[in-house]
């Protein structure tokens, strides 16, 4: 559904005024029914890559394909076609809001595509339900909402016109635990429906329950690619540890519990179930003091 072939992008650094390689010879693909998580430090190129995939930034070299069609820039016919194929929600939603109400914002792309008003209304309500927002917000200004609500409005706007490819930039940031869980379940449902998803994040832990592959960006280049199979491939923990705040601790606990004969879900395929099962077992250990000598929390991955 999405393919980047030897893509490079040079942009002017606003602080120095010097041209830098925001992306450097990137190769990657995302298929229908697949969710790929994109990780890397700030400035690694994640948002730039999403913008290129959405047709918002012109490549300096290489080719970008969406739905088998190579993108060109400045083609108005392609712009309309691409708008229908792709849904985008960036990290700071208020920067991309255009409408005065949530109703108009969520239905904006569908309206621009020429959908009938009744179809737009149904799509807006469907999208709001999908992201867990109340219809009571429909006539509110999206700019007056909380950070988590703004992010959900942006997600709803990306979903409403039923695109085949979704590009999401830090979709869980600013949400409470309930909202984060809702987003993860939504991504899994979209994947099951055959959507292609490319999701950027600083924290790979949040993606473990739904991601099929992880692409690591470093200084604009693809530094690593891992298939998040079950069981995990050899060495995956060490390769992802810089982007995982609790990976090391949870895996140590999991291994020690397994050695004691405890049956627990894998912490990075089903973290919520793992923590619930671990808590229940720790409250009722098989032997006195058994739960007291588990590894203690550490300051980030080691």
Give residue limits of the domains in the chain.
2-241, 246-289
Given the structure tokens 């992010």, which residue do they identify? Answer: 151
Query: CA-based Rg of the chain, rounded to a whole angstrom?
Result: 21
78 - beta bridge partners?
A: none
Whether residue 231 is preceded by a cis peptide bond, meaning omega within 30 degrees of 0, is yes
Given the structure tokens 């290489």, which residue do they identify? Answer: 62
What's the mean pLDDT in 223-229? 84
Q: Assess if CATH 3.30.1330.10 describes domain 2-241.
A: no
CB atoms under 10 Å from CB of 293, counted, come to 8
Tokens of 121: 């209304």
Tokens of 24: 């450097």
**Over the stretch 109-136, which tens digit does the pLDDT of each residue have?**
999 999 999 999 999 999 999 999 999 9
Sequence-ordered alpha helix ranges (H) in the chain? 46-53, 76-85, 102-106, 108-112, 117-131, 147-159, 177-192, 236-240, 247-259, 271-283
Contact 9, 73 (CB under 8 A): no
**Sign for the pseudo-dihedral over CA of 262, 265, 271, 275:** negative
d(CA 213, CA 84) in angstroms, rounded, equals 25
Given the structure tokens 């830090």, which residue do they identify? Answer: 170
The CA distances from residue 140 to 88, 102, 154, in Å, are 22, 6, 14
CB atoms under 10 Å from CB of 129, counted, come to 12
Contact 240, 214 (CB under 8 A): yes
pTM here is 0.79
Q: Look at residue 7 and give its three-state secondary structure.
A: strand
**Over the stretch 167-222, which tens digit does the pLDDT of each residue have?**
999 998 878 888 888 889 999 999 999 999 999 987 777 787 788 999 999 999 99
Lowest mean pLDDT among 158-167, 223-232, 244-253: 244-253
Q: Which residue has the higher pLDDT, 283 or 87?
A: 87
pLDDT at 237 over 80: no
């Amino acid at each position: 559904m999405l393919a980047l072939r030897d893509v490079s992008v040079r942009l002017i650094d606003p602080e120095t005024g010097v041209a830098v390689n925001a992306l450097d010879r990137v190769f990657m693909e995302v298929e229908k029914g697949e969710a790929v998580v994109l990780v890397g430090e700030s400035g690694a190129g994640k948002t730039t890559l999403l913008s290129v995939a959405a047709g918002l930034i012109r490549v300096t070299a290489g080719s970008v394909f969406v739905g088998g069609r190579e993108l060109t820039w400045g083609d108005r016919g392609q712009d309309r076609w691409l708008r229908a194929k792709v849904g985008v929600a960036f990290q700071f939603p208020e920067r991309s809001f255009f409408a005065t109400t949530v109703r108009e914002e969520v239905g904006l792309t569908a309206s621009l595509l020429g959908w009938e008003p009744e179809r737009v209304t149904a799509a807006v309500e469907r999208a709001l339900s999908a992201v867990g927002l109340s219809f009571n917000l429909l006539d509110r200004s999206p700019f007056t909402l909380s950070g988590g609500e703004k992010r959900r409005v942006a997600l709803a706007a990306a979903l409403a016109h039923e695109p085949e490819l979704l590009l999401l930039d830090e979709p869980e940031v600013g949400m409470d635990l309930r909202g984060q869980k809702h987003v993860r379940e939504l991504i899994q449902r979209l994947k099951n429906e055959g959507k292609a998803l490319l999701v950027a994040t600083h924290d790979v832990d949040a993606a473990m329950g739904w991601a099929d592959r992880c692409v690591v960006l470093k200084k604009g280049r693809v530094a690593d690619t891992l298939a998040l199979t079950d069981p995990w491939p050899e060495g995956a923990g060490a390769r992802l540890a810089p982007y995982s705040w609790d990976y090391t601790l949870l895996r140590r606990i999991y291994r020690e519990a397994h050695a004691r004969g405890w049956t627990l879900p894998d912490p990075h395929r089903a973290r919520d179930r793992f923590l619930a099962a671990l808590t229940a077992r720790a409250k009722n250990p098989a032997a006195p003091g058994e739960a007291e000598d588990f590894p203690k929390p550490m300051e980030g991955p080691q």
